[in-house]
Amino acid sequence: MINKFEYPNISGDSIRARYIDFIKQHGPFAYFFTITFPKRQTDDACTQQINQLLYLLNNKIYGKRNTTEYLTGFCFYEKHGLSANNLVHCHGIIKHDPKLDPDCKQSFLDHFWMLINNKKIRIVRNHIVTDEPAFGHNCCDIQRIYDENTLIEYLTKTVTERFDFNYFKPIGKHGI
């Protein structure tokens, strides 16, 4: 990761260019998702819900007992003061893997929508898991990536010298 405090003399454009290069080195990416959280929650609660979704997706794609294969990619949190529901929403990109779209099984898209509609992932409020589903069909989107370069440019639009580096998270074995 590029830490602006280690390189105080580099500009926001230079930081962004380095992040773009870093992200591209870990591609190619197959899927892009956006999740808008339906209720006001802390950043930690949003992270818990993304981690639960990634955990369930990993189980569906690779199997519950598989500890060596897992989804990889990056999550980008964005804060918007004008949002009616929540200040935070999340974009994610998932690295290509042949197991995401096998011929004989459900695709990654199918698994994603099944878990979103399943309502197993719950809203966390004041460190308590509620009975309310965290995600709804109308607050999520997932698409195949066809233009990776333009997408990565879009995802890094907020990377400047004042960027909060806590809002850029790698997706790995244990979520984000």
Given strand 140-144, what is the order of strands in its sheet?
Answer: 140-144, 29-36, 88-95, 73-79, 168-171
Mean pLDDT on 91-98: 93
pLDDT band of residue 73 (cuts 50, 70, 90) is: very high
Query: Is the residue at 33 inside a domain?
Result: no
What is the phi-psi region of residue 8: left when phi exceeds 0, alpha when psi lies from -120 to 50, beta otherwise? alpha
pTM (two decimals): 0.82
Mean pLDDT on 113-131: 74
pLDDT of residue 70 exceeding 50, the answer is yes
Q: Classify each residue of 57-76 as buried b or exposed e, where b means 16 or more C-beta atoms within 10 Å of its C-beta.
A: bbebbbeeeeeeebbbbbbb
Average pLDDT score over the chain: 79
Query: Is the residue at 124 inside a domain?
Result: yes
* Number of domains forming the structure of the chain: 1
DSSP output for 53-81: HHHHHHHHHH-TT--S----EEEEEEE-T
Encode pLDDT of 123-163 as tens digits. Answer: 766 667 777 777 767 778 899 999 999 999 988 887 665 65
Query: CB neighbours of 132 closer than 8 A, spacing ≥ 6?
Result: 39, 122, 123
Tell me which H or E stretch contains 35. Answer: strand 29-36
| pLDDT on residue 1 | 42
Query: Is the residue at 26 inside a domain?
Result: no
| pLDDT on residue 72 | 94
Query: Is the residue at 51 inside a domain?
Result: yes
| pLDDT on residue 96 | 93
Query: Is the residue at 32 inside a domain?
Result: no
Mean pLDDT on 80-88: 61
Mean pLDDT on 6-23: 73
pLDDT band of residue 2 (cuts 50, 70, 90) is: very low
Mean pLDDT on 99-111: 80
Encode pLDDT of 18-56 as tens digits. Answer: 889 999 999 999 999 988 876 667 778 888 888 888 988
Domain limits at 149?
41-169
Query: Is the residue at 16 inside a domain?
Result: no
pLDDT of residue 88 exceeding 90, the answer is no
| pLDDT on residue 19 | 86
